Structure 1
Amino acid sequence: MMYGNGHDMSGWGWFGMSLSTLVFWGLLITALVLLFRAFRRHEHIPPAAPPAPTTPPEQVLAERFARGEIDEDEYQRRLTALRAYEPDTPDLTKH
């Protein structure tokens, strides 16, 4: 007889085996739940909303001028500065 306990496991052996079995099943169940959630999350992602239309800078400037926030000299100066950076924009002063 080896170790004096015959063919039976000691109390620590049963404890270790039981604990390792619980840990194994806990990890397996946790992995399955996380995989399930990951696949479900991808199904419910709504399509990205189109970006909100932005107001062209010249239009914003024209609106400020129309509301009286800036005078004509400042409007013309800022409009010239905007066009220096954006040469392909339409001329809003011809309306």
Structure 2
Amino acid sequence: MMWGGAHGWWGGLGMILFWGLIIAVAVFVFRMLTSNRIGETRDAMKILKERYARGEIDEEEFLRRKQQLQG
């Protein structure tokens, strides 16, 4: 009887893949539950600064909106 034959290799590989999949799903679920992406609230001034830095708005628009946000 060959206990360590070809079936043993496939069984071991299958077990590694099975546990790898279980761990990957657990990590994915954990990240989704602890993520702030859903319902995330970001500071308006920070968003404004990011848009200005990326060049989406010019200086005049930035200053106008900054003034509106500050008061």
TM-score by length of 2: 0.52
1:42 aligns with 2:32: yes
Which structure would you say has the larger Rg? 1
In structure 2, distance between residues paired with 1:37 and 1:48: 24
Aligned pairs, number: 51
Segment of structure 1 superposing worse, 43-52 or 29-38: 43-52
* Large movers: runs of 4+ above 4 Å: none
Q: Deviations over 1:1-42 (max 9, x none)?
A: xxxxxxx4xx5x732111111001100000010000001001
Which consecutive residues of structure 1, in runs of 5 or more, have no partner in the other structure?
A: 1-7, 61-88, 90-95
RMSD value over aligned CA atoms?
3.1
Asked which structure has the greater RCO (Cα within 8 Å, sep 6+), the reply is: 2
Instruction: Give the 3-state SS of the residue equivalent to 2:45 in structure 1.
Output: coil
Unaligned runs of 5+ in 2: 50-58, 65-71
CA separation of 1:45 and 1:16: change in aligned 2, threshold 3 A: same
Structure 1 length-normalised TM = 0.41
% same residue: 6
Identify the structure with the greater helix proportion: 2
Alignment match of 2:5 (pick from 4, 9, 15) = 15
Name the structure 2 match of 1:57: 60
